[in-house]
Structure 1
């Protein structure tokens, strides 16, 4: 293949941007994109910080993710309306990485995941989402939502907990033990912010509910800390009181008012606060988490693109989207950004706000950059309990509780079992194990259902006009359904009937769509056994690709054993010719 042809077969970049341009993009569309980007950016500022904190890193790294990866993915990806940045689904994967390898390990794992995503896109694996069953997706997303909600309880209640547990049950135990340390001021601010976020949309005020809740919570927190707190000992913890920064010889509390700058990912702090030492063992240990990040990122991004297609009647390019997501995660770690993927809530907000192209997502990134440069000090006043309240809402929306309950009530028992198992494994252990087990169970269920579809039965002569004068020495069997490892042995063994009168067996295979390696081996065995008993075999109606596959496996026309016919009428003519030629049938491959 020439280099030009090979290059032409690679997925194209920026297909989302090109699709908007082909539809006729003008100043009116640009105005809509800017307004939509402003709206989404306003929502994304607190959300990016909250998700970074939940992941175990400083809030600015969530903002850097949305700034760098958000813009780059929008410009290079294949989805027209996706808005990318840190998402809640990754918390359960990223938090253990941070605990074990520090921020530097997380950035390195993200970089590795970006390479994997690019490779998946180049290999055109963009249809991956079509092979993940809905019970598996719903099970692990609902499980992730439960884990996220539980992780926010300490900040929401103001509990004094030292560190986080490695697993869900550990965290529950720590929370239960720390309940006597509940801080009524923190709890009150959390409840206030949560109530504002829930009831604000009813007022019809054009300000996002999360922003309103955080502003009210920040004002109330400022008052409480002023009247009841002391210097260095606030009664309600804020971003500014928990986090500090040091950059370019400057130090401060909260978020640094500095744009993301280039730095090698492995130079960021590791688990002991020092830079990572690059070696083969480190890459080997991070490979598993990187694969998990890439797979979840692919699933979530493509799911988001499918939903946005349904809302806008457009069509995304899944392979280009994977490459775009990969490039975003490949570049963001060099600017302090953590893992990014398309966010369904922000994408839906983008669409409802009138977005016309990926430039809306780029505008959203610009809004976050301006927030870092201009609003760093006010952002430091946001209370931690209010951010926990925001993540409670995120977790509830992510859980799809109504769909979960409806599936439990209406889905087949096997699907319900897969849903519950994936949910339980995600909550108790981790998402990677849940998806692996869920996919295995779903595959086993699919095999079982396909096995029930495939059947083999002997056909009476009467229904077939062409076979109305069928000799007793001829038998016709019909196989319906795919011949694969789950059914091949049973389906083909049932053809071997102890009927001494039958000298030629015709197998009608018009309704066999596929044959796998196990079925080919079983067919070999059937041909040998029938030949030893003096019985010839005619395969009828096989599709050309399947005949070619059998030829490659050595199952060819063979005198006295086997031939192929296009239909039953021709097969019966051939079978009668064999009987007339000899009392022990032979096969004239050429005449057949």
Structure 2
């Protein structure tokens, strides 16, 4: 497992062309500039020092960019995790947060080793659309905090923080600069190719604001980002069972949220770039990144869909874009804080607003009336739950609702036909169609009439699949009814696993060609370019 993990990671370091390398480095610079206010804001949400968020963005971003499952994807401190951390920090302090992040990383590594990341494929497309739309709205709402008067509360997470809002000229100037930034990104990207449009917009607006001496909110108004190198630090918590009882629930929740957001972002980026990513490799990379971050004073993190979109839209395609973003962020912290703090927040807000426009699945609105109503409901439900709670909850709710809808629809598809049967014949064949599982048992049992059927009954499962133990129990119950009426029952085309599990009906199985064994794709191997399969 680890040999293939390392080989796949090394495979992502195939030297890009000089032109692509230049694009990757510039894309990384753009991402790093946008990362600063995001990391600071999420640190405030979690109730920790801004450097705790910045260090997390650097370490998590560097490690996942180096060995992650999707080259070009950006990870760092996120609001989805910060809103969970705030209660832990408030009740027990930041040292318990560091210990929790370490345990969170261990859990994610275990998930990756066990290859459980493959289950992300169980997320239906309507859930994915709702996730993308909800996250776009979350990113939009988070940017509204920057329209508050500098010095007011910078909380928020998934909504608008309370505080004093801008009015008059400061508000108009902030809006104007934001719109100018968005226009430069939209139009500049069409005509200027040597530099990413978001970087061009940030640079142009920043130079104009500094040259004109405009009094507008800047990055430095959030907090000072100046600091030193992250220092190795063992979390100062008692190594007792009581400590484990405190941090374990938080670690499990954070690990789940982090992996769900990371793997969904991986799928989204892979879809946009028309490439494949390794779910298990990404899980291990996220876990290792958080494990290291916890020992270096970081708040932990996961994939950032907003920053990933900035990177992809800026042309970043290889690992060097994510690595350069992390390195630039560290340079900002160590040497260039005074310059980065001069960047107007309006420029970064404009960049994120363009990310919102590019992230929201506008076609989901167009197709809403053409898709099944259940799918449309799931899209809206996941969007609302994402905004109201968190991404993990929204995805779980969406998957459960989709599964229930599927189960209900499948339960109504069980039917049978009796080709060539006439009244008085001594043999009757039931050709089943549809899955046999807990939801379709009632329909299955209603198909048969043991009291009126002839002396020999054959049930052909060629067009049906026995899905669960409830289906097996239904077959045994039906066999018992036919046996009680003296009817000879034969079962055809049952799969080997059903034959093994059936007890009473097992000896009634008629020799016939078995169902084929179906392989289920589990993971994409970045080294070989093949899909691993399990049965």
Shared fold (TM-score greater than 0.5)?
yes
For 1:19 and 1:163, the matched residues in 2 are separated by 42
Partner of 2:488: 536
Partner of 2:5: 13
Q: 1:369 to 1:126 in 2, by over 3 A?
A: same
SS of residue paired to 1:98: helix
Residues 1:418 and 2:378 aligned together: yes
Residues 1:262 and 2:232 aligned together: yes
Partner of 2:435: 482
1:68, CA displacement in angstroms?
A: 1.9
CA contact (8 A) 1:83 1:350 kept: yes
For 1:329 and 1:318, the matched residues in 2 are separated by 17
SS of residue paired to 1:453: coil
SS of residue paired to 1:408: coil
1:346, CA displacement in angstroms?
A: 5.0
1:308, CA displacement in angstroms?
A: 4.8
For each residue in 1:474-498, what CA deviation from the matched residue of structure 2 results, as whole angstroms up to 9, or x when unmatched?
Answer: 2211212221111123213422343
1:72, CA displacement in angstroms?
A: 1.6
CA contact (8 A) 2:174 2:216 kept: no
Q: Which is worse superposed, 203-212 or 419-428? A: 203-212
SS of residue paired to 1:35: helix
CA RMSD of aligned residues (A): 3.5
Partner of 2:319: 358
For 1:95 and 1:261, the matched residues in 2 are separated by 25
Q: 1:532 to 1:366 in 2, by over 3 A?
A: same
Aligned with 1:335 (options 285, 290, 296): 296
Partner of 2:171: 187
Q: 1:363 to 1:487 in 2, by over 3 A?
A: same
SS of residue paired to 1:335: coil
1:441, CA displacement in angstroms?
A: 0.8
SS of residue paired to 2:451: coil
Partner of 1:49: 36
Residues 1:454 and 2:414 aligned together: yes
Residues 1:140 and 2:131 aligned together: yes
For 1:354 and 1:396, the matched residues in 2 are separated by 17
> Whose radius of gyration is greater, 1 or 2?
1
For each residue in 1:60-109, what CA deviation from the matched residue of structure 2 results, as whole angstroms up to 9, or x when unmatched?
Answer: 44543343222222332333x2332227xx42442352365255555444
Aligned residues between the structures: 503
Q: 1:186 to 1:370 in 2, by over 3 A?
A: same
For 1:307 and 1:240, the matched residues in 2 are separated by 33
1:444, CA displacement in angstroms?
A: 0.2
SS of residue paired to 1:129: helix
Residues 1:94 and 2:87 aligned together: no
For each residue in 1:211-254, what CA deviation from the matched residue of structure 2 results, as whole angstroms up to 9, or x when unmatched?
Answer: 44444555566578x78xxxxxxx644333442xxxxxxxxxx1
What TM-score, normalized by structure 1, do the two folds share? 0.74
Partner of 2:337: 376
Partner of 2:184: 200
For 2:197 and 2:23, the matched residues in 1 are separated by 16
Q: How does 1:124-139 map to 2 (within 5 A)?
A: 124-139=115-130
For each residue in 1:276-313, what CA deviation from the matched residue of structure 2 results, as whole angstroms up to 9, or x when unmatched?
Answer: 77765665555455444433433443344445545666
SS of residue paired to 2:510: strand
Aligned with 1:321 (options 282, 287, 312): 282
CA contact (8 A) 1:524 1:555 kept: yes
For each residue in 1:17-69, what CA deviation from the matched residue of structure 2 results, as whole angstroms up to 9, or x when unmatched?
Answer: 34346xxx45xx36456423321221122221122133243554454334322
For each residue in 1:488-547, what CA deviation from the matched residue of structure 2 results, as whole angstroms up to 9, or x when unmatched?
Answer: 232134223431x62221111112233311011122211222211212210012223322
SS of residue paired to 1:126: helix
CA contact (8 A) 2:72 2:321 kept: no
Partner of 2:526: none
Residues 1:566 and 2:527 aligned together: no
Structure 2, gaps ≥5 residues long: 515-535
Q: 1:61 to 1:277 in 2, by over 3 A?
A: same
Partner of 2:58: 67
Q: 1:189 to 1:339 in 2, by over 3 A?
A: farther
SS of residue paired to 2:428: strand
CA contact (8 A) 1:239 1:379 kept: yes
Residues 1:399 and 2:360 aligned together: yes
1:442, CA displacement in angstroms?
A: 0.8
CA contact (8 A) 1:142 1:423 kept: yes
Structure 1, gaps ≥5 residues long: 1-8, 228-234, 244-253, 268-275, 463-469, 569-592
